[in-house]
């Protein structure tokens, strides 16, 4: 497997995808792209300018008339062709995601690429199974509701699930008849670039999807401000989300914001212990803790606190950190040097506030090819002051903290004492406890005896500082459309 690094030895150049073609940025500016597991730059992606954006907008504008008038079946067929191409090339994409992001190859295969294919297939099917609404009034009056495409929309995505989140947004946008300007994260642009090649191969009409790369505060901001862009679907950090929301609201643009979280995992002493323990290791350290749904605060009922602490540390220590290409690796590299430094600085701040690391709490050196990579040990904190910044802020790394609780009332208050409201997991075998807590906690996604169990039809998104709006199934299709009600009096 180490031979793979040779494949990626020569510098790869990523191109924008504009008007159906791969093109260089007009300003010839590029951003270096790193392999996090080796710490070396292996590719460069465009740092696009307003000219590139304008070209993309012009091509989307030209494509819109034909694309929006195509039947749902025709649009669906093209998306299915892309899904088919992705399926054929899934191993190549999994490898590219791992080299670009640092995550274990098994995760890229079984989660990232698998879910990307599912996203494409799901929305290709959803559009042809979509139903319209009609409401009748007494007498001869009937209403029907049309959902028209918006025009040109933007999809801006982060680095933690690069292709998965790109396909999650562009699929409903395209199926509703819109043309799309997508901007993947400049930290992990590779699979989006490979995807644009698949779109060309599958015959996606030119201009329907344009993918441009570059720094968020530069081209990202230009995208948000552009008068031709009618809606922005954004996934990323809360701070960025607030900046985007400010600009977009002054221009009366539609926005959907999927932002950060500080999610609670609530464990009662009557839960299915083994299942809870296994899942809690995943919900803490999956994707090196770089999942918006990861549980960074674990609340444990006091009667099982000591047992859980001992078992959780033991299971966490079993996680194998290292070369993400190796099949037995569970923990790969942190996505970038900048993020690695940020997570380690969070550890320092936690220590300064009096917290104790009962395992981890430091970087990990890996021998061989990955000796210059950015690795951090899965870390568990105890005695984290609930008034400290570290308790309140998202770390977005392989770290979680343990807290004791006595009863339902206390844990509901603790779970809610955060500005975030993305997701929560409740572990109990008492149905009434599960229902009561699910009702009283302020999180957009609540799992009972599960974590990250996804049904693409369900509403996905957070409350409070975790976002605005929901994605998934009909929620996504509605976001990417303009609603028109027609009321007819046929008396
Ligand atoms: P980020 O906010 O730094 O960047 C996300 C994207 O926005 C990137 O493409 C970036 O280039 C772009 N961007 C940055 N500044 C911009 C601006 N001013 N205008 C327009 N675009 C801009 O986030 P990140 O570090 O890439 O991702 C990590 C964050 O994403 C975490 O907070 C995580 O919780 C969150 N996240 C949330 C979800 C969810 O569904 N709620 C899913 C995944 C990740």
- Closest residue by CA, ligand 1 atom 8: 185
Q: Are residues 403 and 373 in the same domain?
A: yes
CB-side exposure of 220: number of CA atoms within 13 Å?
21
Catalytic residue among 97, 222, 258, 394: 258
- Closest residue by CA, ligand 1 atom 15: 216
Atom of ligand 1 nearest to the CA of 185: 9
Catalytic residue among 45, 292, 294, 370: 292
292 in active site: yes
Q: Are residues 318 and 176 in the same domain?
A: no
Query: What is the structure's pLDDT at 1?
Result: 57
Q: Are residues 106 and 203 in the same domain?
A: yes
Q: Are residues 210 and 356 in the same domain?
A: no
| Domain contains 461 | no
- Closest residue by CA, ligand 1 atom 10: 216
Give kind and range of the element (H or E) at residue 446.
Answer: strand 445-448
- Closest residue by CA, ligand 1 atom 26: 158
Q: By residue range, what is the domain housing residue 72? A: 2-259+466-486
Q: Are residues 64 and 198 in the same domain?
A: yes
CB-side exposure of 69: number of CA atoms within 13 Å?
5
Please list every protein residue whose CB sits less than 6 Å from any atom of ligand 1.
Answer: 156-160, 183, 185-186, 216-217, 220-221, 224, 235-237, 240, 243-244, 258-261, 292, 394, 396, 422, 462, 467
Q: Are residues 398 and 476 in the same domain?
A: no
- Token pair recorded at residue 425: 């997991």
pLDDT in tens, the chain (491 residues): 556 666 566 899 999 999 999 999 999 999 999 999 999 999 999 999 999 999 999 999 999 999 999 999 999 999 999 999 999 999 999 999 999 999 999 999 999 999 999 999 999 999 999 989 999 999 999 999 999 999 999 999 999 999 999 999 999 999 999 999 999 999 999 999 999 999 999 999 999 999 999 999 999 999 999 999 999 999 999 999 999 999 999 999 999 999 999 999 999 999 999 999 999 999 999 999 999 999 999 999 999 999 999 999 999 999 999 999 999 999 999 999 999 999 999 999 999 999 999 999 999 999 999 999 999 999 999 999 999 999 999 999 999 999 999 999 999 999 999 999 999 999 999 999 999 999 999 999 999 999 999 999 999 999 999 999 999 999 999 999 999 999 999 98
| Domain contains 491 | no
- Closest residue by CA, ligand 1 atom 13: 216
Q: Are residues 276 and 367 in the same domain?
A: yes
Task: Give the number of domains in the chain.
Answer: 2
Taking the mean position of all CA atoms in its chain, how far away is CA 41? 24
Query: What is the structure's pLDDT at 10?
Result: 81
Q: Are residues 309 and 440 in the same domain?
A: yes
| Domain contains 52 | yes
Cβ atoms of 256 and 232 within 8 Å: the answer is yes
Q: How far is Cα 91 from Cα 218, in angstroms, rounded to an integer?
A: 33
Ligand 1 centroid to 157 CA: how many Å?
Answer: 6
| Domain contains 385 | yes
258 in active site: yes
> Residue 412's domain is classified under what CATH number?
3.40.309.10
Mutate to test the pocket of ligand 1, among 36, 155, 216 (most ligand atoms within 8 A of CB): 216
- Closest residue by CA, ligand 1 atom 30: 236
- Nearest Cα neighbor of 32 from 18, 20, 17, 43 is 43
Atom of ligand 1 nearest to the CA of 460: 40
Ligand 1 centroid to 184 CA: how many Å?
Answer: 9
Strand 30-35 versus strand 40-46 pairing type: antiparallel
Cβ atoms of 362 and 397 within 8 Å: the answer is no
Atom of ligand 1 nearest to the CA of 462: 41
Put simply, whether the predicted model's pTM sits higher than 0.75 gets the answer yes
Q: Are residues 246 and 271 in the same domain?
A: no
Ligand 1 centroid to 216 CA: how many Å?
Answer: 9
| Domain contains 277 | yes
Mutate to test the pocket of ligand 1, among 240, 421, 475 (most ligand atoms within 8 A of CB): 240
Q: Are residues 198 and 237 in the same domain?
A: yes
Atom of ligand 1 nearest to the CA of 339: 25
Q: Are residues 478 and 388 in the same domain?
A: no
Other C-beta atoms lying within 10 Å of the C-beta of residue 348 = 11
- Nearest Cα neighbor of 157 from 145, 169, 144, 140 is 169
- Closest residue by CA, ligand 1 atom 35: 236
| Domain contains 409 | yes
- Nearest Cα neighbor of 151 from 75, 207, 103, 219 is 207
> Residue 106's domain is classified under what CATH number?
3.40.605.10
Q: How far is Cα 261 from Cα 297, in angstroms, rounded to an integer?
A: 10
| Domain contains 212 | yes
Mutate to test the pocket of ligand 1, among 186, 225, 231, 237 (most ligand atoms within 8 A of CB): 237
Ligand 1 centroid to 207 CA: how many Å?
Answer: 25
Q: Are residues 313 and 392 in the same domain?
A: yes
- Nearest Cα neighbor of 467 from 421, 417, 418 is 421
Mutate to test the pocket of ligand 1, among 158, 287, 467 (most ligand atoms within 8 A of CB): 158
The alpha carbon torsion through 376, 380, 381, 382 (nearest 10 deg) reads -160
């Amino acid at each position: 497997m180490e031979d793979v690094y040779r494949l990626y030895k020569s510098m790869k150049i990523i191109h924008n995808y504009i008007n159906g073609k791969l093109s260089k940025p007009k300003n010839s500016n590029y951003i270096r792209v790193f392999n996090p597991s080796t710490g070396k730059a292996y590719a460069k992606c465009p740092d696009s300018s307003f000219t590139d954006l304008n070209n993309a907008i012009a091509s989307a504008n030209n494509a819109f008339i034909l694309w929006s008038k195509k039947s749902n079946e025709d649009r669906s067929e093209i998306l299915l062709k892309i899904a088919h191409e992705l399926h054929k090339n899934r191993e190549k994409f999994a490898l590219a995601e791992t080299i670009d992001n640092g995550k274990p190859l098994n995760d890229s295969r079984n989660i990232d690429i698998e879910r990307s294919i599912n996203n494409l297939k799901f929305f290709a099917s959803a559009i042809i199974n979509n139903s319209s609404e009609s409401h009748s009034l007494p007498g001869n009056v009937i209403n029907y509701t049309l959902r028209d495409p918006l025009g040109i929309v933007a999809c801006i995505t982060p680095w933690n699930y690069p292709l998965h989140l790109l396909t999650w947004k562009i699929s409903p946008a395209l199926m509703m008849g819109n043309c799309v300007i997508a901007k993947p994260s400049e930290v992990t642009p590779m699979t989006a670039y490979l995807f644009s090649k698949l779109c060309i191969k599958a015959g996606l009409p030119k201009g329907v999807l344009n993918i441009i790369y570059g720094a968020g505060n530069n081209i990202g901001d230009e995208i948000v401000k552009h008068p031709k862009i009618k809606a922005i679907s954004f996934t990323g950090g809360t701070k960025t989300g607030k900046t985007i929301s400010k600009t977009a609201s002054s221009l009366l643009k539609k926005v959907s914001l999927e932002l950060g979280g500080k999610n609670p995992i609530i464990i009662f002493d009557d839960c299915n212990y083994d299942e809870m323990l296994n899942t809690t290791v995943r919900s803490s350290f999956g994707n090196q803790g770089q999942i918006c749904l990861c549980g960074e605060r674990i609340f444990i009922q006091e009667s099982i606190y000591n047992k859980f602490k001992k078992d959780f540390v033991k299971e966490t220590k079993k996680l194998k950190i290292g070369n993400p290409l190796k099949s037995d690796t569970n923990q790969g590299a942190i996505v970038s040097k900048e993020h690695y430094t940020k997570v380690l600085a969070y550890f320092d701040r936690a220590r300064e506030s009096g917290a104790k690391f009962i395992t981890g709490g430091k970087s990990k050196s890996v021998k061989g090819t990955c000796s210059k990579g950015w690795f951090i040990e899965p870390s568990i904190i105890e005695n984290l002051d609930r008034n400290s910044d570290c308790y309140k802020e998202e770390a977005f790394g392989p770290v979680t903290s343990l807290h004791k609780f006595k009863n339902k009332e206390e844990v509901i208050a603790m779970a809610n004492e955060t500005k975030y409201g993305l997701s929560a997991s409740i572990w109990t075998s008492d149905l009434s406890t599960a229902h009561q807590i699910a009702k009283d906690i302020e999180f957009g996604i609540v799992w009972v005896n599960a974590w990250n169990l996804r049904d693409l039809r369900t509403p996905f998104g957070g409350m409070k500082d975790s976002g605005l709006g929901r994605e998934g199934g009909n929620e996504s299709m509605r976001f990417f459309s303009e609603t028109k009600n027609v009321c007819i009096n046929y008396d």
